[in-house]
Amino acid sequence: MPEHDHFGAKQKPLVVFAGRSNVGKSSTIRALTGKKVRIGKSPGSTTREYMVDFGPITIVDIPGFGFMSGTSKQKIEETKTSIIQNLENWAERIMLAVLVVDLSLFSELVKRWEGRGEIPIDIEFYTFLSEITKRVIVVANKRDKLRKREVVSEIEYLRFKLREAVVEREPTIVPISASKKKNISTLKSLIEESLADGGITLKL
């Protein structure tokens, strides 16, 4: 009998999608795969992992971390701890981690967190994902909310902060608009190439 995890999915290699609440993880998965994954109506409304069986892999939509609508700080920390524990438990199965960030808010949020003397949560998770897998793609979503020249400057700032956090790795960044399906083909190609590097053939 094949092994199953507690979601009932066979023990296939994992592609995990992580990110703060409301950055568009589920929308990105839907744009990539055509699968009708559920999309939360408010920040933090998704509180459990959602697994999608997809050929040779299982796609995992991780609950959003950070602000969650109508949720206490204690519950938010518990959710974050649970996410980290699950990712650590899955480390050997994770072939690729995709961190989705909101490009239109990234620099503003980073400056707000650093102003409080705290590590920005997007940066914290990028560092963590880089520790548990060698394949990490950063999806800079919501580029449609910025002017073209703003997209360039925000990408430069994002790249600078990621390099600063993980100096030994050049970050892979793909700016997209999941809602408008802009630049999704580029993201598909990068995911396919990354999985092929790990010995998995997948056509998105």
User: Could you state, in order of their start, the residue ranges of all structural domains in the chain?
Assistant: 14-194
Domain 14-194 CATH superfamily:
P-loop containing nucleotide triphosphate hydrolases (3.40.50.300)
* Residues of the chain falling short of pLDDT 70: 1-10, 37-47, 66-72, 76
Q: Where are the alpha helices (DSSP H) in 34-101?
A: 73-89
What pLDDT sits at residue 6? 47
The pLDDT of residue 37: 65
Q: What pTM was computed for the model?
A: 0.87
User: What does the pLDDT read at residue 50?
Assistant: 87
Judge contact between 44 and 64, C-beta under 8 A: yes
202: exposed, middle or buried (Cβ count in 10 Å: 0-12, 13-18, 19+): middle
Residue carrying structure tokens 């790795």: 169
Residue 136 confidence (pLDDT): 97
Interatomic CA distance for residues 95 and 16, integer angstroms: 8
